[in-house]
Amino acid sequence: MELAFAGLQLLCAPFMDRLERLPADLFCGRIGAAVALAAEADAVVEATGSDVALRGAIALANWRGQDTEARALVEAGRRGVMQHGEGLWLVATDWGNAVRYNGLGRYDDALVAAERAAGDPRGLGTPMWLLADLVEAAARSGKPERAVGPLERLTEIAEANGSDWALGFLARSRALLGEGQAAERLYREAIDRLGRTFIRVAHARTLLVYGEWLRRENRRVDAREQLRAAHAMLSDIGMEVFAERARRELLATGETVRKRTVETLDNLTPQELQIAQRAAEGRTNPEIGAQLFLSPRTVEWHLRKVFGKLGISSRRQLGSALPDASPAAVLL
């Protein structure tokens, strides 16, 4: 078992630089790139027959709010995690659970998961993202007193950082705990600051919570403007459960809205997407096959399926037919 794990580490080494981009691609809204990176990392795990958890698949299931799939993947991964002592995996999983539960509106569950992740001694500090999810869960579950300590930590980090994205997170968190005109000023500050960053997810989720607040204030027309923008952005970046939350809020304002999907991602499997993206970069079938542990013939078979699904006839057309897969250029 230890030899298998060591072999996996060696095989994963060439992929680590790319895998480290997964959170950045997710937070910046490049869901196509994130799906491809997750599939690449998980392909390495599966090719070795290892029982190490499929982190990429778990991250994406949490991101998209796929509750049944996420819980099944986490449970299946626990055995390998406990054997190899990957305590940080457990912290990251609790954080991912908090995101998923917030999207589903299960705020009590989100609060428990976020508090567990924030208080775990195996964590490497507490990221602002986690603190923001903890504050949202506490505010929405009717337990604002449990957000006091996290908000103080968030304030300290944000004021020391001084960037728009850090201060935007802080403004949103304060708004969730605020009332009246003071809350509205903070929501608007958060939207303004986060709208100037590459972090589309934080911007979209702020539009959502502001729209929800406006709807509860019986300002339906104002709420619709924010919720429409949130629904469109969240759908585009693949946060389907948060997009559904925005859709339900729009229905509550009296507006009808259809569910949206990211067509390319719905049509292509993760493996097809990562093959297509490598082909678009100019890699040959043997090169792609070597990277993904597939034969050149299998790569060609997948590409024919991709062409049919995208309605194109050559590799030259892949670049314009696929989602943006450029690396994220933001410090997280």
If you average pLDDT over residues 145-162, what whole number do you get? 94
**Which of 40, 68, 85 lies at the terminal end of a domain, its last residue?**
85
- The gap from C-alpha 79 to its chain's centroid, in whole angstroms, comes to 24
The span from the CA of 319 to the CA of 309, in Å, is: 15
pLDDT of residue 300: 83
**Domain of 284: which CATH number?**
1.10.10.10
Q: In angstroms, what CA-CA distances link 268 with 166, 229, 326? A: 35, 26, 18
Q: Give the contacts of 33 (CB within 8 A, at least 6 positions apart).
A: 21, 25, 277, 323, 324, 325, 326, 327
- Domain membership of residue 328 (yes or no) is no
Q: Tell me how many domains the chain contains.
A: 2
- Tokens in use for 295? 């034969």
- pLDDT tens-digit profile of 53-103? 556 677 777 777 777 887 887 776 665 555 555 556 666 788 889 999 999
**Which of 85, 109, 129 lies at the terminal end of a domain, its last residue?**
85
- Domain membership of residue 66 (yes or no) is yes
- pLDDT tens-digit profile of 22-61? 677 777 777 667 777 667 666 666 665 554 555 667 777 7
The span from the CA of 229 to the CA of 235, in Å, is: 10
- pLDDT tens-digit profile of 164-207? 999 999 999 999 999 999 999 999 999 999 999 888 899 999 99
Q: Residue 37 in contact with residue 79, Cβ under 8 Å? A: no
- Domain membership of residue 42 (yes or no) is yes
Running DSSP on this structure, what letter comes out for residue 326?
P
Give residue 280's domain range: 270-321
Q: In angstroms, what CA-CA distances link 327 with 32, 115, 234? A: 11, 31, 20
**Which of 85, 102, 127 lies at the terminal end of a domain, its last residue?**
85
pLDDT of residue 55: 67
Q: Residue 246 in contact with residue 224, Cβ under 8 Å? A: no
